[in-house]
Each structure stands twice: as structure tokens, then as C-alpha cells.
Amino acid sequence: MKDTDIKRLLYTNLLCVFSIFLSIFIPSFFVDNFSVLEAHLTWLCICSASVTTVNLLSYLVVKPNVSSKRSSLSHKVTRALKCCVCFLMSCFLLHIIFVLYGAPLIELVLETFLFAVVLSTFTTVPCLCLLGPNLKAWLRVFSRNGVTSIWENSLQITTVSSFIGAWLGAFPIPLDWERPWQVWPISCTLGATFGYVAGLVISPLWIYWNRKQLTYKNN
């Protein structure tokens, strides 16, 4: 493991963090009195689009998982379509899980679905960029000692921290503090966002700190 690889990972992750800040501050130049809380649904769409775009561009430039095999145009198109289908399936699956865990079934359907979209953006999109629509690779990465690179280590940490952040964000909802951010699903989306950013920052630092102990097996 080289320090230059860890630096590439750090810079890529910081770009993803920057995309979160862009989604917060850029709309204020076009919309008067824009607020993440007051225009939460709009912000969720902007945040999802911003993070997805930066993820795609950064992985295309950095290419952390370069394959020695040349793929045809039809293969690339098929792969892209499969990734889109996987992303949509992830959104619907998370929406169903949220409803099973107590989210409103009929009311606030759009809010719940957009929460599923943004959480899928934080978790599924990086997986698709790095691993593609390969279920075996996903199971390998998220199994014990299954990672084969620092990029997959970072993917593990960021994905888990996003889910933990979303889960922790649900705790303030039933409390009688009467704060605007306690409305479903604002606290959950903010928790997921903080978890995602924390994972992006912590993962390269953790990998650097433990670089002497970390060993990776080739695919």
C-alpha cells in the first residue's frame, strides 16, 4: 500500500464532501432565502444529483478498479443500464424498509421516497461506481475480511456510517421539542448526510493510521 494511493482516496473523498456543500450553498444564489429545512425536498434532489455527479466523475478520472479486459460499447451500455436498475431497486427497497419501520404509508410518500433516494445515493451509487452491478463483489466487500483494496475499505466505512447516521437521526422525531428539523424525514436525512460526510473523512485517516496492519488479497 502506497501513501500516494491513500492521498488519491483522500482527495476523492474530499471532492464528495465538497459536493454536499455545493448542494447547500449553490441554490442560495438562485433561490431567495433558500434553506435546507424549509425547501428540504428540493435540497434532497439537488444533493442526490450533486453527489452522484461527483462520484461518477471522480471514479472515471481516478479509476480505482481498472480492469485489464477491454469491454465493448454494448457491454458498457448494458452495464450502465444494469446500474440504473440497481439504483432504482435500491430506492424502492429502502422505501419499503422505511415504511416497515414506521414511516407513513400513505402520507408523506414523496418525502419518504426522496429520503430513500438520497440514502441510496450515499450508499448504492459508490458501490455501483466501484464494484458495478456485481452481487458477488458486493457480498465479498461487506463480508468479514473480504476487501481487496483501500477503496473497498473506504466503501465499507462510508456505507455503514451513512446507515448509522440515518438510524440515529430517527431518535429525535418522537421527542416533544417541537423543532422544525424533527419533521419526518428531515432529521433522518440530516443524520445520513452527517454519517456520509463523517465516513468520507474518517476512512482515509483510519486507513492511513492502520496502513501497516492492513493487507489485501488480489481478486
* pLDDT tens digits, one per residue of 15-37: 999 999 999 988 888 888 888 98
d(CA 159, CA 120) in angstroms, rounded, equals 10
d(CA 44, CA 46) in angstroms, rounded, equals 6
Over 70: is that where the pLDDT of 193 sits?
yes
pLDDT value for 165: 97
Q: What is the dihedral of CA 137, 143, 149, 154, to 10 degrees?
A: 110
**Arithmetic mean of pLDDT over the chain:** 89
DSSP secondary structure, the chain, as one string: --HHHHHHHHHHHHHHHHHHHHHHHGGGGTSTT--TTTTHHHHHHHHHHHHHHHHHHHHHHH-TT--SS---HHHHHHHHHHHHHHHHHHHHHHHHHHHHTT--SSTTHHHHHHHHHHHHHHHHHHHHHHH-S-HHHHHHHTSTT---SHHHHHHHHHHHHHHHHHHHHTTTTTSTT--GGGSTTHHHHHHHHHHHHHHHHHHHHHHHHTTTT------
pLDDT value for 219: 46
Over 90: is that where the pLDDT of 198 sits?
yes
pLDDT tens sequence across 35-54: 898 899 999 999 999 999 99
pLDDT tens sequence across 102-119: 898 888 999 999 999 999
pLDDT tens sequence across 66-102: 555 566 778 888 989 999 999 999 999 999 999 999 8
